[in-house]
A and B are shown apart, each in its own frame.
Chain A
Amino acid sequence: MLKITDLVKRYGKGNPVLKNLDLTIEGESVVSIIGSSGAGKSTLLRCINRLVEPTSGSIELNGTELTSLHGRDLRTARRKIGMVFQGFNLVDRLTVMENVQSGRLGYISTWSAVMRRYPKEDIRRAYELMERVGIAHYANKRADELSGGERQRVGVVRALMQNPEILLADEPTASLDPKTSEQIMGLLRDLAGELKLPVLINIHNVTEAKIYTDRIVGMRYGRIIFDDVPDKLDQEAMDQIYSGSPHADRSEDMKEAS
């Protein structure tokens, strides 16, 4: 269970990007976060695995408080959080297998990592997962030889190799063409069911969010203003989520305050 309470993130002295945000994700549901650019979707995801340092608030994953962790403890916690990126973020000059195994870096010894002597069970699991997503025959290819859809599959397998307790996906399909994009979304949904894994997806494409996810969270300028099943997302809710500007929103804040 992921439980976020009163989360605030502020860059420098500016307005907060996340404003006292609360969100709880239970079970193995696939949750999508929608909202216009600048709503704070990406910051929220990166606060969870601490790629971005939250200003205040609490993030709890299966009983572990994440916001107070440092060094080795933080790395141990990160192993339990898989992440898939918009730009795939693969190491282009390494083979697909090395990219996939880099998901295990938190577990294996430095010597095995440097010498590429991966444990047998890791290699077996890598082949199983790669076969599942259809890229097993690319194991020895360099990552930059693959197409966009294939690269994102490598990204997904890398995240799953971590044996995560939750999977975060930051606009996983934004760099892909529509058809490939649907394939990846379908894959994320199916894998969530197969592996009993909660998945949290930032997404721009509302149609895909409705089709492939169980629950939609709508964000506007650092706040959650919609949180329900996809069927409840009507035109009015959509207008609310995608209307306004950060500036208008800020003046609303002032009105509230005065």
Chain B
Amino acid sequence: MSTIAEKFGREDWSRFTPKQRMQRYAAFAFCALALGWALGSIDVIWAWVWDAPEQMGDLLGRMYPPDPSNLGDILLVLLETVNIATFATALGVMMSLPVAYLAAQNTTPNRATLWFGRLILVTSRSVNTIIWALLFVAIFGPGVVAGILAIMFRSIGFIGKLLGEAIEEIDKRPVEALEATGASRFKVIVYAIIPQVMPTFWAVAILRWDINLRESTVLGLVGAGGIGIILQGAIDTFNWPEAATVLLAILALVVLGEVVSAFLRRRIL
């Protein structure tokens, strides 16, 4: 005979079993150690840290009031930024289609193509847009071409991965039905697979456009076109009121982009 309390090996009540508690303590201890190591060894001049709130306040003070005298130019370049993001998204979407096809287990022709597709996705996704931009600026020189390519290369991995997963998750029964009619591989893809991934396709394209809008605002900082160039110029010349205007313009752009993409999502899906 054993009471329930004995069966569980304890008569008092506590939230966790001893083993769980040990695991939790170990996890906490590990986090604390990691933070302690980081704090202790990071290369920081602590005097500057205590000084930071004052410095930030000082900087914000110099930004106020924002100087709108150059607003016309800023808005023009902002439009160019939007164009970079939109163009690069469209190109990235097109390029990601064949990659998604290769990287999805149920459409890829064979194992070699599967791994080739996944290699493209991983390379594209793991290298940040800014690093892509550094590379393309070195190759094609400063300007919008480098920016468009950078955003495009980063987008391929993002869209291709999500689209490839959508292809892997489709309902396989219509595919079987169309294979039974004697349709070729390509026709099966067009009739049974593409219609099923269309909603994901649009959702992912809109999401990436929204992200790219944000990314395109910093391309200019490494010379790859867009609003970032003006921001860099203003900061380098200590023209803080103009920098503030640029920042406000970017804020407005991003918020607007979010509104537009939310609207598109509702309309299309």
Contact = CB atoms under 8 A, between A and B. Distances in A.
The reply to whether A and B meet directly (CB within 8 Å) is yes
Interface string B162-185: 000000000101101111111110
A114 B190 contact: yes
Given A87-B173, A90-B174, A91-B196, A110 B187 contact: yes
Contacts of B188: 105
Interface string A71-113: 0001111111111010101111110001000111110001001
Contacts of A83: 177, 180-181
B263 interface: no
A89 B198 CA distance: 18
Interface residues of B, number: 22
Interface in A165-184: none
A194 B171 CA distance: 34
A162 B196 contact: no
A49 interface: yes
Contacts of A91: 174, 178, 191-192, 195-196
Interface string A109-122: 01001100000000
A145 to B, nearest CB: 14
A113 to B, nearest CB: 5
Nearest to B180: A83
Given A87-B173, A89-B173, A113-B187, A78 B181 contact: yes
A65 B95 CA distance: 43
B195 A93 contact: yes
B194 to A, nearest CB: 9
B186 interface: yes
A214 B179 CA distance: 29
Contacts of B182: 74-80, 105-106, 162
Contacts of A98: 191
A242 to B, nearest CB: 28
Contacts of B174: 89-92
Contacts of B196: 91-93
Residue among B174, B178, B198 with most chain A CB within 10 A: B174
Nearest to A80: B182
A189 interface: no
A113 B198 contact: no
Interface of A: 49, 51, 74-83, 85, 87, 89-94, 98, 102-106, 110, 113-114, 155, 158-159, 162
Given A75-B184, A105-B184, 9 more contacts: A51-B176, A79-B181, A82-B181, A89-B174, A89-B176, A90-B177, A102-B177, A103-B181, A113-B191
Interface of B: 171, 173-174, 176-184, 186-188, 190-192, 195-196, 198-199
